[in-house]
């Protein structure tokens, strides 16, 4: 919310600091860049000192960075504050998916991941919507929005302290038979893989549930003395040789870029003739994005879980393959690319604003639906290394999106919306099509 909220205030920032549009947009793009870089730091920190402690530290630092943003008097000072705010805010993007994978079972995972995705994506829509009201009706304009974000960050610190569990603990290794009657060694030979996980263990084996003491709850730091912090920072790079990781990175980056590009450029499009929108009207366009997010939350979450559960039941023995999750891409995979085509022609030819809103909702749907299914698939496919894979996904997909965003304003101004969004359409179709070889080449290797 704090990261994208300034998008509707770009004209006011240009006037206040006497900067061009491309310079003012740097307040958004560099925030996005440091959001990417921060993932490299926060996930190893969470592994070393605990996820709960890292989230508390991140939110405390973010509150301080937002105070700096609200009180900045120069453009360079505001840009530096925005970079710091992006870096410290990366913890929420990288640690939370890992926490969800830690504490929820396979049949719940897509639904829970979709709640995470819709909240973090919904923030990109709610921020501009709220800020549009503030910049038009409050004398302190965008600074009031920054103070609102400070208050929300302070509330988050309290909520994390009392409600966020610590999920860093050693899970037991069960010596159990597989559902088809084979022991682990025979099952490994049959399936050609050493990665077999059992979520339904034999009745005699059970987890011990222990209530943490008051001291453990008050002092959130849980140090893993066996973990080398710097080695953990470079460990995710091994994921670059895994086809599933490369596919998810490219899919997520190409699905996110069309929606973010429009957020960054819609103020200049809609406030100019023939639309002549006010700041509030520009902000209300985010309602279309919120509708797209809500529909994608159901499609990429609950519907995906239902499809996966149906496939597992039909196969028998309760065997679930990670590649089964890819089949749930089919119902809504074309909506995002189709939205790119609609935005390309509507924005280029200045068609009715309602058509632009529909296209914006469609690309917003695509920015949540396919990435959520892809992340759930990846967390299942490489379950033991899910944390490292998610770090790499968050770092690289943000870098992919940043490369487009860095040149987005000048690209649209020089070449027009038609070329920009048709390129996004081609990339979107190509990355979704990458699921086909993954499904056919890997579907028989991993059984859970």
pLDDT digits (tens, 9 = 90+) for 70-115: 999 999 999 999 999 999 998 888 788 778 877 887 777 777 877 8
CA–CA distance from 336 to each of 126, 283, 329, 364, 433 (Å)? Answer: 20, 21, 12, 7, 13
pLDDT for the residue 364? 93
**Domain for residue 150, yes or no?**
yes
Q: What is the dihedral of CA 387, 160, 297, 396, to 10 degrees?
A: -40
Contact 13, 28 (CB under 8 A): no
> Does residue 181 form part of some domain?
no
State how many domains the chain has.
1
Q: Tell me the Cα Rg of the chain.
A: 23
CA proximity to 302, closest of 106, 111, 109: 111
For residue 275, the enclosing domain spans: 7-166+231-441
Q: What is the pLDDT of residues 167-176, one digit of tens each?
A: 776 655 544 4
194 band by pLDDT with thresholds 50, 70 and 90: very low
Under 8 Å between Cβ of 375 and 440: no
Residue at 405 is within a domain: yes
Position 253 scores a pLDDT of: 87
Contacts of residue 124, defined as CB under 8 A and 6 or more positions apart, other chains included, come to 1, 3, 4, 259, 260, 263, 289
CB 5 within 8 A of CB 149: yes
Identify the pLDDT of residue 190.
Answer: 41
Indicate whether 276 belongs to any domain: yes
Name the pLDDT band for 48 (thresholds 50, 70, 90).
confident
CATH number, domain of 241, equals 1.20.1250.20
> What is the rounded CA–CA span in Å between residue 439 and residue 373?
13
**Average of per-residue pLDDT across 272-292:** 91
Q: Is the pLDDT of residue 273 over 80?
A: yes
pLDDT band per the 50, 70, 90 thresholds, residue 220 = confident
Residue 295 in tokens:
């529909």
Whether residue 206 is contained in a domain is answered as no
Q: Average the pLDDT over 256-280 and give the result.
A: 88
The average pLDDT across 132-141 equals: 86
Residue 185: inside a domain, yes or no? no
| Angstrom distance (rounded) from CA 216 to CA 134 | 42
Answer whether residue 76 is part of any domain: yes
Side-chain-facing half-sphere of 267: CA atoms under 13 Å: 27
Residue identified by tokens 């159901």 is 298
Q: What share of the chain is helix, strand, coil (3-state, %, to 5)?
A: 75, 0, 25
Nearest 10 degrees: Cα torsion 176, 179, 180, 182? -10
On whether residue 384 sits in a domain, the answer given is yes
Cβ atoms within 10 Å of 238's Cβ, excluding its own: 13
Averaging pLDDT over each range in 51-55, 107-111, 223-227, which range is the top one?
A: 51-55
What's the mean pLDDT when you consider all of the chain? 83
Measure the CA–CA gap between 383 and 376, rounded to whole angstroms: 10
User: Among the listed ranges 1-15, 50-64, 161-175, 305-319, which one has the minimum average pLDDT value?
Assistant: 161-175
Residue 151 pLDDT: 97
Residue 203 has pLDDT above 70, yes or no: no
| pTM of structure | 0.78
pLDDT of residue 316: 67
Say which residue, 184 or 264, is predicted with more confidence. 264
pLDDT at residue 188 greater than cutoff 60: no
Of the given ranges (161-175, 255-269, 280-294), which has the lowest mean pLDDT?
A: 161-175
Which of 126-140, 191-205, 248-262, 349-363 is modeled with the greatest confidence?
A: 349-363
User: Is the pLDDT at 207 greater than 70, yes or no?
Assistant: no
């Amino acid at each position: 919310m704090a990261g994208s909220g300034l998008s509707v205030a770009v004209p006011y920032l240009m006037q206040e600091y006497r900067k061009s549009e491309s310079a003012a947009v740097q307040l958004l793009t560099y925030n996005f860049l440091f959001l990417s870089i921060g993932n490299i730091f926060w996930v190893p920190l969470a592994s070393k000192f605990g996820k709960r402690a890292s989230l508390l530290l991140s939110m405390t630092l973010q509150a301080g960075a937002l105070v700096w943003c609200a009180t900045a008097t120069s453009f360079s000072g505001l840009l530096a504050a925005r970079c710091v705010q992006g870096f410290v805010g990366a913890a929420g993007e990288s640690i939370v998916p890992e926490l969800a994978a830690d504490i929820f079972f396979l049949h719940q995972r897509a639904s829970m991941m979709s709640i995470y995705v819709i909240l973090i994506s919904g923030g990109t829509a709610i921020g501009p919507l709220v800020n549009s009201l503030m910049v038009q009706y409050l004398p302190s304009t965008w600074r009031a929005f920054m103070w609102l974000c400070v208050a929300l960050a302070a509330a988050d610190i309290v909520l994390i302290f009392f409600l966020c569990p610590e999920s860093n603990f050693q899970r037991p290794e069960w010596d159990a038979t597989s559902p088809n009657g084979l022991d682990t060694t025979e099952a490994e030979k049959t399936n050609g893989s050493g990665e077999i996980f059992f979520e339904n263990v034999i009745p005699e084996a059970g987890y011990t549930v222990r209530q943490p003491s008051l001291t453990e709850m008050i002092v959130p730091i849980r140090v893993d003395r066996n973990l080398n912090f710097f080695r953990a920072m470079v460990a995710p790079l091994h994921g670059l040789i895994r086809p599933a990781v490369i596919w998810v990175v490219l899919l997520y980056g190409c699905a996110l870029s069309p929606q973010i590009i429009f957020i960054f450029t819609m103020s200049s499009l809609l406030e100019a003739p023939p639309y002549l929108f006010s700041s509030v009207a520009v902000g209300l366009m985010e309602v279309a994005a919120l509708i797209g997010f809500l529909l994608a939350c159901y499609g990429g979450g609950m519907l995906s879980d239902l499809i996966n559960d149906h496939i597992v039941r039909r196969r028998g023995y309760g065997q679930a393959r990670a590649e089964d999750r890819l089949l749930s891409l089919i119902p809504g995979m074309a909506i995002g690319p189709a939205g790119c085509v609609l935005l390309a022609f509507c924005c280029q030819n200045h068609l009715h604003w309602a058509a632009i809103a529909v296209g914006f909702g469609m690309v917003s749907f695509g920015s949540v639906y396919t990435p959520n299914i892809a992340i759930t698939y990846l967390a299942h496919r490489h379950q033991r290394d899910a944390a490292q894979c998610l770090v790499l996904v968050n770092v690289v997909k943000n870098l992919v999106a940043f490369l487009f965003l860095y040149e987005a304003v000048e690209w649209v101004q020089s070449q027009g919306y038609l070329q920009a969004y048709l390129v996004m359409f081609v990339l979107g179709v190509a990355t979704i099509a990458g699921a086909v070889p993954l499904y056919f080449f890997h579907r028989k290797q991993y059984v859970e």
